[in-house]
Amino acid sequence: MLEASENLRLLAIWSEYIAENETRSAFWYLIGMSACLINYQCLADWKGDVRDFRYFDSDERQLYSFITNQKWLLFYFRLPAIRSDRHSKERLFDLFADANENTAGEWTVKIKSIDDVDRLVKFLGWQES
């Protein structure tokens, strides 16, 4: 669920920042999907100069996030999500050619289209196949 806060207006500002129409559509689709997640609190906020959309579970652990860039969204599997053993790194990397593991040990995926969002939310189990 989206957290009710002043920061919700950031979504419109962030959407305008996105230069690619397909990525902007993916952004709004992912925001819409996120708004319906009852097991997560979602929050849009700045992290320095970074546009950071965060997903917290009921234990207030940040499991996921994504940052908004001009040409893609970069979705993060944060360490609590990776340590939960809910997700297969191998399967994620098979689904997304540009999946990566950063120096902090987090997994990242570039999201550029609604198709990318569909594959991601199915992988996460947020939507049935």
pTM of the shown model: 0.93
What Cα–Cα distance (Å) separates residue 128 from each residue in 59, 79, 123, 125?
24, 24, 9, 7
- 121's CB contacts (< 8 A; 6+ apart) are 30, 33, 127
- Residue 6: how many other CB atoms lie within 10 Å: 7
Q: State the residue for tokens 């989206």.
A: 2
- The answer to whether the beta carbons of residues 104 and 82 sit under 8 Å apart is no
Tell me the HSE value of 88 on the side-chain side, using a 13 A CA sphere.
7
- Give 2-58 pLDDT, tens digit per residue: 765 567 789 999 999 999 999 999 999 999 999 889 999 999 999 999 999 999 999
- Give 56-103 pLDDT, tens digit per residue: 999 999 999 999 999 999 999 999 999 998 999 999 999 999 999 999
Give CA–CA dist 80/17, Å, rounded.
29
Q: State the residue for tokens 């999907």.
A: 33
pLDDT at res. 1:
67
pLDDT at res. 129:
44
Domains of the chain: 6-124 (3.90.1150)
- Give 94-114 pLDDT, tens digit per residue: 999 999 999 999 999 999 999
